[in-house]
Amino acid sequence: MTHHRRHRERGASRRTVRARTSLGIAQAADYVEVLAHALRAGGVTVRSGGELVALQAGERVELEVQAGEEGTHSVVRLTLRWETPMPEERLEIVPGVEQTGASGAGPDTGVGGGPSGE
């Protein structure tokens, strides 16, 4: 069967969850490991307080790492970016003329002579 992708609408609502906390080094490493496991599982859900965002992972990920010193702090910034997968819709073409709202009791009067079902 033929499938096609629906075009993404511009200006669709976007949700972002932001949080900042101070952790021990082992706890911070745990968060990074959980993120890695989530990506391998196919998606990431981030919850902070009453806010939540769930992101399905794409096939390819753009990875950006920035590391350096800012004043008295050492900083590592990790950015992961991917194209959000869109669900595929099934495109179905059937012979004949399908009557919208009809009970289906009458014969198909369309061209093609085949059943109008699957």
Residue 40 three-state SS: helix
CA distance 4 to 88: 6
* Domain spans of the chain, in order of start: 15-91
Is residue 111 within 8 A of residue 98, CB to CB? The reply is no
Per-residue pLDDT of the chain (118 residues; tens, 9 = 90+): 444 344 444 444 578 999 899 999 999 999 999 999 999 999 999 999 999 999 999 899 999 999 999 999 999 999 999 998 877 788 888 888 877 765 555 555 444 444 544 4
Specify the pTM: 0.60
Is residue 75 within 8 A of residue 69, CB to CB? The reply is yes
CA distance 58 to 69: 32
